[in-house]
A = this chain, B = another copy of it.
Amino acid sequence: MSPSRRNEPIPEATVPRLSRYLRKLQEMQGQGKETVSSRQLAEAVGANPAQIRKDLSYFGEFGTRGVGYDVKTLVEELRQQLGLDRSWNVIIIGSGKLGTALALYRGFERQGFNLVGMFDSDPDVVGTDRGAGPVLSSDRLEEFIAGNDVHIAMITTPADTAQDVIDRVVAAGVPAVLNFAPISATADQPVILRQVDLSTELMTLSFYLDKS
């Protein structure tokens, strides 16, 4: 068993893996599983057991040699480490097909993400319900952000308006942005900006297909 590294900072590359362990462990918990070994968890997520033991060593020793981890305890520890033991308010800007798909995504609330508002610039869309109550006009973004505690803005506008929208939400004080628009977005203030990038995924597939 690896020594505990509870007080060391968790490296950036570890975080996505922790979230995958958490999801798998929650599935196991839903199936009534009470303990899990690093080998079983490794098989379930397609990782190797040594990596899992190393990743989990960042937050204490709660695995028992020969028995494994208590699933419930591990889920709670992971949720706490990932900041999921509290709730985050999310807005979606761009209420087209992708925005609507995201609004209807059921994994959201389960993990403590509250969708508090949807926005669109199209007057025909404003006022319709795309899964999160009436869509608001994008003109009202700054006003809404000032009056609500918005933690995360998800950007699903077309490419040509995405950077402008990101600049506006960042200037209005939203601390985290998840951009789905196919641009290389930037932020001129130190916010958390991440990109879900379909074209990068497709090109990566293409790269490996071409080599295979």
Contacts and interface: CB of A to CB of B under 8 A. Distances in A.
Contact of A23 (B20, B184, B211): B184
A81 B207 contact: yes
A47 to B, nearest CB: 9
B203 A88 contact: no
Nearest to A156: B101
A138 interface: no
Interface string A62-80: 0000000000000000000
How many copies the complex holds: the figure is 2
Interface stretch (A104-112, A116-124, A164-172): A104-112
B98 A209 contact: no
A contact residues, range: 35 or more
**Mostly helix, strand, loop or mixed at chain A's interface?**
helix
Contacts of A23: 182-184, 199-200
Given A196-B196, A212-B175, A207 B83 contact: yes
B194 A83 contact: no
Interface string A1-39: 000000000100001101110111001000000000000
